[in-house]
Amino acid sequence: MGKKITIEPVTRVEGHGKVTIHLDDNGNVTETRLHIVEFRGFERFVQGRPYWEMPVLVQRLCGICPVSHHLAAAKALDVIVGAPQLSAVGEKMRRLMHYGQIFQSHALHFFHLASPDLLFGIGGDPLKRNVIGVALEHKDLATMGVLMRKFGQEIIQVTAGKKIHGTGAIPGGINKNLSIEERDRFLVGKPGYNIDQMIEWSQAALEFFKSYHAEHRAFIDHFAEFPSSHLSLVREDGALDLYHGVLRAVDANGKRILDDVDYQNYLDYISEEVRSWSYMKFPYLREFGKKEGWYRVGPLARLNTCDFIPTPLAQQEFETFRAYTHGKPNNMSMHMHWARLIETLHAAEVMRDLLNDPDLQNEDLVVKGKKTNEGVGLIEAPRGTLFHHYKINENDQIEMANLIVSTTNNNQPMNVAVEQVAKEMISGQKEVTEGMLNAVEVAIRAYDPCLSCATHAMGQMPLEISLYDANDQLIDRKMSH
Amino acid sequence: MSKPVVATTSLAGCFGCHMSILDIDERILDLIELVEFDKSPINDIKTFSRECDIGLIEGGCCNSENVEVLRDFRKHCKTLILVGECAIMGGLPALRNNIPIKECLEEAYLNSPSVTENEERIIPNDDELPIILNKVYPCQEIVKIDYYLPGCPPRADLIWETLVALIEGRKPKLDYELIKYD
Ligand code: SF4
Q: Which residues contact A183 (CB under 8 A, 6 or more apart)?
A: A355, A360
Residue B153 Cβ < 6 Å to ligand 1? yes
Give percent of chain A above pLDDT 70.
88
Query: Which chain B residues touch A281 with a CB distance below 8 Å?
Result: 108-109, 112, 115
**pLDDT reading at A462 higher than 50:** no
DSSP 3-state of A212: helix
Query: Which chain B residues touch A452 with a CB distance below 8 Å?
Result: 14-15
Best mutation site among B22, B56, B85, B155 for ligand 1 pocket (most ligand atoms within 8 Å of CB): B85
Confidence of residue A131 (pLDDT cuts 50, 70, 90): confident
**pLDDT reading at A192 higher than 50:** yes
Q: Decide if A1 contacts A243 (C-beta within 8 A).
A: no
Predicted local distance difference test score (pLDDT) of residue A406: 86
* A277 interfacial to chain B (CB closer than 8 Å): yes
Q: Taking residues A206-222, what's their average pLDDT?
A: 93
Predicted local distance difference test score (pLDDT) of residue A473: 66
Range scoring the smallest mean pLDDT among A38-47, A71-80, A342-351, B142-151? A38-47
* A62 interfacial to chain B (CB closer than 8 Å): yes
The CATH T-level fold of domain A42-168+179-409 is: Cytochrome-c3 Hydrogenase; chain B (1.10.645)
Residue A5, number of CB atoms within 10 A of its CB? 14
Residue B60 Cβ < 6 Å to ligand 1? no
Architecture of domain B5-96+135-179: 3-Layer(aba) Sandwich (3.40)
Best mutation site among A60, A69, A450 for ligand 1 pocket (most ligand atoms within 8 Å of CB): A60
Predicted local distance difference test score (pLDDT) of residue A419: 87
Query: Which chain A residues touch B28 with a CB distance below 8 Å?
Result: 135, 146
Closest residue to A135, CB basis, from B32, B104, B137: B32
Q: Where are the domains of chain B?
A: 5-96+135-179
Predicted local distance difference test score (pLDDT) of residue A16: 60
Q: Decide if B37 contacts B46 (C-beta within 8 A).
A: no
Rg (alpha carbons) of chain B, rounded to whole number: 18
Residue A40 Cβ < 6 Å to ligand 1? no
Give percent of chain A above pLDDT 90.
64
Residue A60 Cβ < 6 Å to ligand 1? yes
Chain A, chain B: beta-carbon pairs less than 8 Å apart? 254
Predicted local distance difference test score (pLDDT) of residue A477: 55
Residue B152 Cβ < 6 Å to ligand 1? yes
SS3 string, A445-476, reads: HHHCCCCCCCCCCCCCCCCEEEEECCCCCEEE
Confidence of residue A177 (pLDDT cuts 50, 70, 90): very high
* B75 interfacial to chain A (CB closer than 8 Å): no
Q: Taking residues A135-157, what's their average pLDDT?
A: 92
Sign, CA dihedral A88-A89-A91-A93, equals positive
Residue B53 Cβ < 6 Å to ligand 1? no
Best mutation site among B11, B17, B62 for ligand 1 pocket (most ligand atoms within 8 Å of CB): B17
Range scoring the smallest mean pLDDT among A244-248, A289-293, A470-474, B50-54? A470-474
**pLDDT reading at A455 higher than 60:** no
Q: What part of B 88-117 touches A (C-beta under 8 Å)?
A: 91-93, 95-96, 99, 101, 103-109, 112-117
Predicted local distance difference test score (pLDDT) of residue A113: 78
Closest residue to B114, CB basis, from A57, A164, A272: A272
ipTM given for this complex: 0.93
Confidence of residue A452 (pLDDT cuts 50, 70, 90): very low
Mind listing the pLDDT tens digit for each residue in B138-155?
999 999 999 999 999 999
The dihedrals phi and psi of A475, each to the nearest 5 degrees, come to -105, -20
CA distance A406 to chain B (A): 15
B126/A277 Cβ within 8 A: yes
**pLDDT reading at A459 higher than 50:** no
**pLDDT reading at A474 higher than 70:** no
Residue A132, number of CB atoms within 10 A of its CB? 22
Mean pLDDT per 10-residue interval, chain B, length 182 residues: 87 90 91 85 73 95 90 96 96 93 92 92 86 92 95 95 94 87 70
A229 vs A257: CA distance, rounded Å: 9
Q: Taking residues A142-165, what's their average pLDDT?
A: 95
Supply the pTM of this predicted model: 0.91
Query: Which chain B residues touch A286 with a CB distance below 8 Å?
Result: 116
Closest residue to A37, CB basis, from B47, B105, B130: B130
Name the average pLDDT for chain A: 86
Mind listing the pLDDT tens digit for each residue in A342-391?
999 999 999 999 999 999 999 999 999 999 999 999 999 999 999 999 99
Mind listing the pLDDT tens digit for each residue in A277-316?
888 899 999 999 999 999 999 999 999 999 999 999 999 9
Predicted local distance difference test score (pLDDT) of residue A458: 28
Confidence of residue A178 (pLDDT cuts 50, 70, 90): very high
Residue closest by Cα to atom 5 of ligand 1:
B13
Confidence of residue A3 (pLDDT cuts 50, 70, 90): very low
Closest residue to A20, CB basis, from B69, B128, B182: B128
A126/B44 Cβ within 8 A: yes
**pLDDT reading at A433 higher than 80:** no
Mutation site, B14, B117, B119, interface A, largest A CB count within 10 A: B14
What's the DSSP call for residue B117? -
Give the position, in ligand 1's atom list, of the atom nearest the Cα of A63.
8
Helices A335-355, A434-447: inter-axial angle, 10-degree rounding: 40
Q: Within its chain, how far is the Cα of A451 from the centroid? A: 10
Q: Where are the domains of chain A?
A: 3-40+411-480, 42-168+179-409
Mind listing the pLDDT tens digit for each residue in A389-403?
999 999 999 999 999
Query: Which chain A residues touch B108 with a CB distance below 8 Å?
Result: 39, 41-44, 281
